[in-house]
Amino acid sequence: MAEYILVFDKDGVIVDSEELKIQSIEKIFADVNPAEFELIKIYNRANRGLFRKSKIQYILSHILKENHIAEKVDKMLIQCRDMVYEVMGTAQMIPGVEAFIKNAPQKKYVSSAAPQEEVIDNLKQFGIYDQFEGIYGHPNSDKAAILRNLSQKNDLPVFFFGDTLLDMEEAEKAEVNFIGIETAPGTFNGLNVDKVKDFRAIDEIQKFIDNRLNM
């Protein structure tokens, strides 16, 4: 059996929650004027996977042109966190991912931009917390550094499953393999990237892995 390491983003890869989180950002800005709100939606959806704090800071300072935003950012982060916890109970796992994780004998890790506590709670909610050797979330969420460290420490190929262009870029920076989970149709259009809709395409995923290992 070939040895390698599997690393998973959480939102949009393990849990079908990316859209819920995107909507939570938009809800906290729902009272701005329609033109500004449209700009917020465009920015928010073009930057899937970015830290919530970074998004809120950008929206307040660059779209709404507000000054002295630190206190407001903290307040909005709490609002956002509370919304996410409220809706996460309705979220489902990405099709096929539970079986894929439980059946894969390789070492497995999670690397997410979401808060560490939230990541752990979600994995426990779905009964897969004990499947992972390590779980990384904000503030320990430098994906490129984590991926690079896992590859070097174990001296094994790493395959990172992500659902955003930012995930792909982090894998490239770390010089590890990337497999796109295209829960948002068209995310990787026009790019030379191995991708599947979800983990029910297990044969295709394995083919991607085998091809990379044989290069």
CATH of the domain at 207: 3.40.50.1000
Q: Judge if the upstream peptide bond of residue 139 is cis by omega within 30 degrees of 0.
A: yes
**pTM as predicted:** 0.86
How does pLDDT run across 156-210, given as a tens digit for each residue?
Answer: 999 999 999 999 999 999 999 999 999 888 999 999 999 999 999 999 999 999 9
How does pLDDT run across 31-41, given as a tens digit for each residue?
Answer: 999 999 999 99
CA geometry: angle 185, 188, 194, nearest 5 deg: 110
Task: Write down which residue in 62, 88, 114 finishes a domain.
Answer: 88
Task: Write down which residue in 34, 63, 88 finishes a domain.
Answer: 88
In this structure, the answer to whether residues 102 and 133 fall within a common structural domain is yes
Whether the per-residue pLDDT at 88 is higher than 90: the answer is no
- Identity at 59, one-letter amino acid code: I
Task: Write down which residue in 46, 69, 88 finishes a domain.
Answer: 88
Domain count, the chain: 2
By the 10 Å C-beta count (0-12 exposed, 13-18 middle, 19+ buried), 125 is classed as: middle
List the domain range (segments joined by +) for residue 140. 5-16+92-213
